[in-house]
Amino acid sequence: MRKPFAAGNWKMNTNRKTGVELVSSLAEGASDLAGEDVTVAVCPPFVYLESIIKALHNSNIAVGAQDLYFESDGAFTGEISVAMLKDIGCTYCLCGHSERRHVIGETDELVNKKVTAAINGGLLPILCVGELLEERKSEKTNEVVTRHLEKGLAGLNDEKVLAVTIAYEPVWAIGTGLTATPEQAQEVHLFIRNLLSKMYNETIASEMRILYGGSVKPSNTAELMANPDVDGVLVGGASLKAEDFLGIIKASVQ
Ligand code: PEP
């Protein structure tokens, strides 16, 4: 039985005050659900992680980073290591978000190094995969998702891969207001689960959580979550408003 998972990606938004206010409202509003019925995590900007972790210390809401660097320490100006994120109390880390792939230029090989470093250092990676609009139009969705998964998970054995959460995020649906239909989401999620089954085995595939991301709102969460292979949601814009993210958290518990 896969527990639902609602994760918020704040991207480069909020400040210390608004971020702390946001998580204080979330902690209060989700106190009866978070941890028990649904895994809840927020991924604030690096510089606010520690303030957010402190503000959430009595709650069951976990905190994740939006990125990490795969080397343990050294001359990597501007980068943040897994050990640093663990040191301040992070639990999760997004890896390969489409904005990092398509705006910053991260390759599958770099994403794989980050996923591997996260697991080896005790963080739980959320590996984002998904196709561009032109790739969907030219029926390359399965090919792209296969590449992201095979390369992103390369070298991970059965035990390590279980630390990973997959997030299917069609790039054309991120921040655009366009959401994949529940049928489109289920089709790709099932494809991903079958692929995980081939890459590993059926038990592992059935245990791994696959989140959907792309313009998720309180009003479309329940219909997405009603699909057998949609185990949760990765939310950008709507995770910045307490009322909306609380609505999504509640709707993700069926
Ligand atoms: C995201 O940033 O992962 C995302 C899905 O954004 P949005 O919900 O705004 O589309």
Protein residue with its CA nearest to atom 8 in ligand 1:
236
Q: What is the tens place of the pLDDT at every residue in 150-161?
A: 999 999 999 999
Going by pLDDT thresholds of 50, 70 and 90, the confidence category of residue 67 is: very high
Confidence at residue 179, expressed as pLDDT on a 0 to 100 scale: 86
Q: How confident is the model at residue 126 (pLDDT cuts 50, 70, 90)?
A: very high
Nearest to 26 by CA among 2, 66, 56, 51: 56
User: Mean pLDDT of all residues in the chain?
Assistant: 97
Sign of CA dihedral 212, 216, 218, 223: negative
Catalytic site positions? 97, 169
Q: Is the pLDDT of residue 124 over 90?
A: yes
Task: Name the closest-CA residue to atom 1, ligand 1.
Answer: 236
How is the chain split into domains, by residue range? 5-251
Give yes or no for residue 169 CB within 6 A of ligand 1. yes
Query: Is domain 5-251 annotated with CATH 3.30.70.270?
Result: no
Task: Return left, alpha or beta for 42; rule: phi > 0 is left, psi -120 to 50 is alpha, else beta.
Answer: beta
CB of residue 234 inside a 6 A radius of ligand 1: yes
| 215 Cβ below 6 A of ligand 1 | yes
Token digits for 207? 């245990």
Residue scoring higher pLDDT (125 or 32): 125
**pLDDT tens figures, 188-231:** 999 999 999 999 999 999 999 999 999 999 999 999 999 999 99
